[in-house]
Structure 1
Amino acid sequence: MKAVVFPGDRKIAIMDFPDPHPGPGEVVLQIKASGMCGSDLKYYRNPPGTPTLGLGERKGPIIAGHEPCGVVVEVGE
């Protein structure tokens, strides 16, 4: 799957990730749209290695957007 990520320092990139598979009681969504808010902008603006939102130091690019809208494409058992 592809995702838009914030590597930091006001950069945006498109990266490939392994396709997710749902576990019991989970679903996989094909995201059609995702809202961005002020907390997402902190990841966009801060340099890599900077503690953000009290979550500690990030270890890699962040897939931002926690207000998704999508279609269920796979259901776990």
Structure 2
Amino acid sequence: MQLKAQLLAEIAALPSDRLGAVLDFVRSLHTDSSIPSAQAFLSHLKTIGTWSGNDLQDCLEAVQNSRGEAHFDSEPNPFES
């Protein structure tokens, strides 16, 4: 079976609620995928949801409490030749 016929068969077998995602994907192939568009980024943000926590202070305290002293081995220095 030719590739186009295989694609059409797969699309025909999809539930209708997935067709929009397929259309979005196919349209994205027409653009340079290495540079996401602002519209694509905004569409992606809508799928993430929102954060509604009120535990910012707890999170900051957890970060403060888990910090340790940093140790650096500067010999040999990889940035000096």
Q: Shorter-normalised TM-score: what interval?
A: under 0.3
**Higher RCO, Cα 8 Å, sep 6+:** 1
TM-score (norm. length: structure 2) = 0.19
Larger of the two Rg values belongs to structure: 2
Higher helix share: 2
TM-score, normalised to structure 1, is: 0.20
